[in-house]
Amino acid sequence: MSVNGGGRASLVSLTAVPVLETEVRLGREGAAALALWQARPGEILTVVDPEQGWYRARLLNLEADGAVVVPFARLSHPAESPLAIEVYQALPEKERFELILQKLTEIGVYRIAPCLSRRSITLQERDAGQKKSHRWPEVLLRAARQCRRGMIPELMPVLTWEETLDQAQHADLKLILYEGEAPWTLREVLAKDNPQCIALLVGPEGGFADDEVAEAQQKGFLPVSIGPRIFRTETAAIVGAALLQFAAGDLG
């Protein structure tokens, strides 16, 4: 269960293919999606029609039982990737996670889940002195608006290690970034499969413990390397997601 209402619930869906510069009435579902965006009359949003055509539209009014938008420009490419990337990120220190949230949103990641591992910090340690985790949904929302996403990425609650491995089981391909001698590179793994959903598990500073990697492998995760250099955890998350989007999604 996401903590921000993101994902498909935040898609603003039209009921028919629109005529540009013509008012379109949305029902309760559209109004609920607009509420997740905290949209106000006069704002510009990205909307989608039943044939997966994407538009920029102006919101005229918003009420509890409906809304009116005016699509004014059709986008030449879909606003959302056909590849659902889910990043399970071992909780980092300080403001690094907010950077990760922002950049993964821009890359087009579908779901982001902070998680705990042996070398990660806890949420209590992360919020010690000044509580900042409550800002995470707002960081995602601002980033989604800025890059004109059609949906807000799902933000999951902080997961335990066991919950993390279980939550990712539905993915077509499950990958764990490994700093040691990984048996595969990202390029090799993606050359063999055509996944629709990829779960990417990213470790904390210092990486995952060997027994954590072994546990992940038992759950179907493939240890992969993204290059010869050691990245900081935020760099690994951003580069890993970008490479997945480039190889199997809509970047490049």
pLDDT at 182 (0 to 100): 79
Kindly state whether residues 216 and 131 are assigned to the same domain: yes
| pTM > 0.95: yes or no | no
Kindly state whether residues 43 and 158 are assigned to the same domain: no
Q: 236 and 202 in contact (C-beta within 8 Å)? A: yes
Q: What percent of the chain has pLDDT over 70?
A: 95
pLDDT at 186 (0 to 100): 82
**How are the residues of the chain apportioned to helix, strand and coil, as percentages rounded to the nearest 5?**
35, 25, 40
Q: What is the pLDDT confidence band of residue 121, given thresholds at 50, 70 and 90? A: low
Kindly state whether residues 53 and 25 are assigned to the same domain: yes
Of 46, 74, 102, which marks where a domain is finished? Answer: 74
Residue whose tokens read 């059609």? 150
pLDDT at 206 (0 to 100): 86
The mean per-residue pLDDT over the stretch 225-231 comes to 89
End-to-end Cα distance, the chain: 32
Query: Which positions ≥6 away from 114 have C-beta within 8 Å?
Result: 89, 90, 91, 97, 123, 156, 157, 158, 159
Please give the tally of structural domains in the chain. Answer: 2
Q: Which residue has the higher pLDDT, 1 or 220?
A: 220
Q: What is the pLDDT confidence band of residue 167, given thresholds at 50, 70 and 90? A: very high
Kindly state whether residues 118 and 24 are assigned to the same domain: no
pLDDT at 228 (0 to 100): 87
In a domain, 13, yes or no: yes
Q: Where are the beta strands (DSSP E) in 39-93?
A: 44-48, 54-63, 66-74, 84-90
- pLDDT of 128 higher than 60: no
> Which tokens belong to 181?
């001698």
Q: What is the mean pLDDT of the chain?
A: 92
Give the structural domain span for 39.
7-74
Kindly state whether residues 137 and 228 are assigned to the same domain: yes
CA gap 252, 250 in Å, rounded: 7
CA gap 94, 205 in Å, rounded: 12
Task: Single out the residue of 95, 134, 92 nearest to residue 114, CA to CA.
Answer: 92
In a domain, 2, yes or no: no
Of 32, 52, 74, which marks where a domain is finished? Answer: 74
In a domain, 199, yes or no: yes
